Amino acid sequence: MPKRLSKPAKSKTGGKSLQKLRDALAPGWTVAESAKNAPEAPVRAGRPLAIDDIYELKLTGDPQVSPDGSRVVVAVQHIDREANEYRAALWSFPLDGSSGLQLTSGRWNDGSPRWSPDGEWLAFTSKRETEKPQIWLLPTHGGEARQLTDLTNGASTPSWAPDSRRLVFTSTVDPEGYDPEHDVKVITSARFKFDGKGFLDGKLTHLFTIDALDDEAEPVQLTSGEFEHESPIWSPNGKEIAFIANREPGWEMLRTSDVWTIPATGGEPRRLTGGQGSFQSLAWSPDGSKLAVAGVEEVQGGVQNARLYVIGAGSGKLKGLSGDIDRALGDRSMSGPNGPVSGSPIRWTPDGKAIDALVSDRGSTIVVRFESKSGKATVLTGHDRHVTAFDHADGSGELVIAVTDPTTPAELRVVTDNGERKLTGFNDAWLAGTGIATPEEFWIESKGRSIQGWLLRPTGNSAEAPDVPLVLNVHGGPHAQFSPAFSHELQMYAARGYALVYINPRGSLGYDESFAQEVTAAWGVADAPDFLAAVEHVVGMGGIDGSRVGLTGGSYGGYITNWLLGTTDRFKVGVTDRSISNMTSMYGTDDISLVSLDPELGTPWEDQQRYWDMSPLKHVANITAPVLIIHSENDYRCPMEQAEQLFIALKRLGRTVEFVRFPDESHGLSRNGKPKHRVERLERTLAWFEKHL
Which residues form the catalytic set? Answer: 555, 667
Return all residues near 209 (Cβ < 8 A) that are at least 6 apart. Answer: 166, 167, 168, 169, 219, 220, 222, 241, 264
3-class secondary structure, 224 = coil
The letter for the amino acid at 430 is W
3-class secondary structure, 98 = coil
Chain centroid, CA 274 distance in Å: 28
Cα 356 to Cα 330, 367, 445, 466: the distances in Å are 11, 6, 33, 47
| Phi-psi map region of 111: left, alpha, beta (phi>0 left; psi -120 to 50 alpha) | beta
Strand order in the sheet with 111-115: 111-115, 121-126, 134-139, 146-147
Distance CA 162, CA 238 (A): 6
The letter for the amino acid at 25 is L
Distance CA 410, CA 59 (A): 6
- Whether 31 contacts 378, CB under 8 Å: yes
Strand order in the sheet with 318-320: 278-284, 290-296, 307-312, 318-320
Distance CA 515, CA 325 (A): 14
Distance CA 385, CA 388 (A): 10
Chain centroid, CA 288 distance in Å: 30
Q: Which residues pair with 333 in a beta bridge?
A: 481
Distance CA 221, CA 266 (A): 8
Distance CA 644, CA 558 (A): 14
Residues in the chain: 693
Distance CA 99, CA 103 (A): 13
- Whether 463 contacts 453, CB under 8 Å: no
3-class secondary structure, 206 = strand
Query: Interior CA angle at 167 toward 166 and 169, to 5°?
Result: 155
Determine if the peptide bond prior to 478 is cis (ω within 30°): yes
3-class secondary structure, 374 = coil
Q: For the purposes of burial, counting CB atoms within 10 Å of the CB of 671, is it exposed (0-12), middle (13-18) or buried (19 or more)?
A: middle
3-class secondary structure, 465 = coil
Distance CA 502, CA 456 (A): 9
